[in-house]
Chains A and B, each alone.
Chain A
Amino acid sequence: MTTLDSRDNRPLWQRYVHGHHWRTQAEEFDGAKLGFWLFLTTEVLLFGGIFCAYAIFRSLYPGAWKEGSSLLDWKIGGINTAVLLISSYTMAVSIYYIQVGKISRARLNLMFTILCGALFVTLKLLLEYTPKWTGWFFFMDPALGHHSIDAAAGNGLFGLFRHVEGYGGKRPGSLYEYGFGHDPHMPLWWSVYYVGTSIHALHVIIGMILIFRVWLKAGKGVYGPNYYTGVEIAGLYWHLVDLIWIFLFPLLYLIH
């Protein structure tokens, strides 16, 4: 924004003036998007390394991948997939509402997107990482019904967690402590699993922060039909996170 007239009562987005080095505002918008797509290519290559490791090690050690995948619950992965897809929709539709000037509906959808991201990360940490790493289950975890609780260990964290003896220790590399693994390359599988999903979860958290920033700025009237570059860019980031998960989910949870 270049000049702001203090007597001007129009919302901020109506007063937006594009940078003077662009011929038109549309050109500025396209330039911003082009730059962000270039950034997204680096993201694709970042995850590409992980997918490459997955492909090579799966070819070399199919037994470990088969056994490791059988220890993951596709239902949690499936729910998380649906959560991310729905959040992608609300993100896209919030851009539409900004474009047609319905700012409060757009903010509602943005907040819903953030909550979906929070749900995704919570499910991952609470139902997947914590039990697999430590053997402690959240007391409402449906999977707890399949196991006998280790009563001697007591209840962790104000009774919120229950311990299952021998379940934990499914950790990457040299941290591997699981007592019932069969394939010698199980630590490698867990390395790929944790690196892939945790870097993805980190992206979900970053995306939530970006969308929250957009939500705040939209509340101040920064975005509207005339100017919504920030919303569009945050949306692109969020969709990429979704895109990565579309591949991670079948590769990790559904192989056998």
Chain B
Amino acid sequence: MSHASPAAFNELDPHDASHHGQHEHHAIVGPFQLRLVLVTLLFFTFATVAFAQIEVFVEGLIGGPLPWWVNVAGAMSIAVVKSLLVMAIFMQLRYDNPMNSIIMAFTFAALAIFIVFTGIDLLGRSQVDAYKAENIKAGGTDEIVSKKRDAFLAKMVDRYGAEEGKAKYEELDHEFNHAHEESAAAPEGNTPNLSRERVGLTGALLEVAPAKGEHAEHGAAHEGAEPGKKGEKTNPMGQESEGP
């Protein structure tokens, strides 16, 4: 096949005027090469899925999570190779005027700057805003999810009675959250506190994130210790009965 290996771009003769007339010079990528690329892409898809499965397996072996970047690096490096293949062969950047590749490279550079600078802002806020420690409620309120859970539990209790409804709720909870082996591992420590312990708006302020119930007690004790308070007992109910 005469077009099996298309010639590279020639800067001094970009439209190949010396050789052919009209359209001849454009790269013709043959079906064999395209098929090869397709098989490679499908193989990499298989590889990225396999990598994720292997990670789960290894985590089971060592009994704990791998560093967060293993997951990201594994999936992303394969995706980058796949996308380069698609752009170079399927989209013919390899045989094109290099200007198209340069445009694309600058776009990805711009995108990287965009993401990195957004990250510098949002992911660094816990350090910048340390002086706001006393105004922020650590880790948010957990309101949306807990309300939905409570509402659904109430619905079940309403429909099936107190005990059977609770049992039904827990049965469904198990079915949706623990039915598969992979996802059974996921909810470990996956409570509303998980996000706060590691990062989050006020994450850096807390060495150990408080459990859900501790907020109220901590706040009450703090108020009780204020100098203006009359009552010296640490009974939280006492505050409400006291007049100004």
Contact = CB atoms under 8 A, between A and B. Distances in A.
Interface of A: 23-27, 29-30, 33-34, 37-38, 40-41, 44-45, 48, 51-52, 55-56, 59-64, 66-67, 70-71, 74, 78, 81-82, 85-86, 88-89, 91-93, 96, 99-100, 146-148, 165-167, 169, 176-187, 225-227, 235-236, 239-240, 242-243, 246-247, 249-251, 254-256
Contacts of B206: none
B144 A92 contact: no
Contacts of B148: 169, 176-179, 181
Given A243-B83, A243-B86, A255-B71, A187 B144 contact: yes
A28 to B, nearest CB: 10
B199 A60 contact: yes
Interface string B4-31: 0000000000111100001101101111
B52 interface: yes
A93 B217 CA distance: 68
A239 B91 contact: yes
Interface stretch (B118-126, B129-137, B230-238): B118-126
Interface in B170-199: 172-173, 175-177, 179-180, 182-183, 185-187, 190-192, 194-195, 198-199
B68 A24 contact: no
Interface of B: 14-17, 22-23, 25-26, 28-31, 34-35, 37-38, 41-42, 45, 48-49, 51-52, 55-56, 68, 71-72, 75-76, 78-79, 82-83, 86-87, 89-91, 96-97, 99-100, 103-104, 107-108, 110-111, 114-115, 118-119, 122-123, 140-146, 148-149, 151-153, 155, 169, 172-173, 175-177, 179-180, 182-183, 185-187, 190-192, 194-195, 198-200
A62 B198 contact: yes
Nearest to A97: B31
Contacts of A100: 28
A100 B97 CA distance: 21
A77 B186 CA distance: 19
B110 A45 contact: yes
Given A182-B187, A184-B143, A255-B75, A236 B179 contact: no
16 contacts: A24-B17, A44-B111, A52-B118, A56-B118, A61-B200, A62-B198, A62-B199, A67-B190, A81-B45, A178-B148, A179-B155, A179-B169, A181-B149, A183-B191, A226-B22, A235-B91
Contacts of B180: 70, 146
A88 B42 CA distance: 12
B27 to A, nearest CB: 9
B195 A64 contact: yes
A166 B190 contact: no
Contact of B22 (A26, A40, A166): A26
B190 to A, nearest CB: 5
Contact of B37 (A24, A89, A167): A89
A24 B24 CA distance: 12
A85 B111 contact: no
Given A33-B100, A88-B90, A247-B83, A182 B191 contact: yes
Nearest to A59: B123
B79 A246 contact: yes
Contacts of B25: 26
